[in-house]
């Protein structure tokens, strides 16, 4: 049986944000606009904008937020180079699943009194040297 995600001290599992990138479209246009689909695991908690580049993830202080990426095309490489967000709200760190080279980013929400906190994700796509940055902003919302 595979290991389950460890719940936080308050008993809540991390909120997982999955980004799906159409790498072929992003590489041909030089942008992820129209080629990025975002989802999270907190729909019951009030998140909205599923399947869009403007995902609004509902969070509370103490929530752990985990970002990961998938390629729409199985032959393409996509990765997250970084997440640019207000460090007073959340400070994501790059981690690697044990025994693999699969990376993810995780951070803890530091404040409870946030309204809307936009962020940008820098994606590594294919063999392109420069990351492609989101143009529309997903947000964490309180």
pLDDT for 114-131, tens place per residue?
Answer: 999 999 999 999 999 999
Fold of 15-141: Immunoglobulin-like (2.60.40)
> 10 Å Cβ neighbour count for 65?
23
CA distance 109 to 50: 21
Q: Which residue has the higher pLDDT, 3 or 29?
A: 29
φ/ψ of residue 17, rounded to 5 = -110, 120
Percent of the chain with pLDDT over 90: 84
Q: Kindly give, in sequence order, each residue whose CB lies less than 8 Å from that of residue 122, ignoring residues fewer than 6 positions away.
A: 80, 81, 82, 83, 84, 131, 132, 133
pLDDT category of residue 11 using cuts at 50, 70 and 90:
low
Q: Is it the case that residue 2 has pLDDT exceeding 50?
A: no
* Helix, strand or coil, per DSSP, at residue 23: helix
**34 or 9, which is more confident?**
34
Q: Count CB neighbours of 31 within 10 A.
A: 15
Stretch 49-73: mean pLDDT, rounded?
96
Q: Is the pLDDT of residue 6 over 70?
A: no
Is 0.85 surpassed by the pTM of this model? yes
Average pLDDT over the chain reads 92
The domain limits of the chain are 15-141
């Amino acid at each position: 049986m595979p290991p389950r995600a460890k719940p936080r001290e308050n008993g809540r599992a991390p909120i997982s944000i999955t980004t799906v990138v159409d790498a072929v479209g992003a590489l041909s246009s030089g942008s992820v606009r129209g080629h990025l689909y975002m989802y999270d695991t907190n729909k019951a908690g009030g998140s909205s904008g599923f399947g869009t580049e403007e995902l609004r993830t509902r969070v509370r202080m103490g929530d752990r937020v985990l970002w990961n990426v998938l390629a729409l095309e199985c032959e393409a490489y996509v990765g997250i180079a970084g997440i640019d967000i207000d460090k007073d709200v959340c400070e994501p760190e790059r981690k690697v699943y044990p025994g693999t080279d699969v990376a993810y980013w995780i951070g803890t929400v530091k404040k409870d009194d946030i309204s809307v906190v936009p962020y940008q994700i820098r994606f590594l796509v294919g063999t392109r040297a420069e990351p492609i940055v989101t143009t529309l902003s997903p947000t964490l919302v309180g």
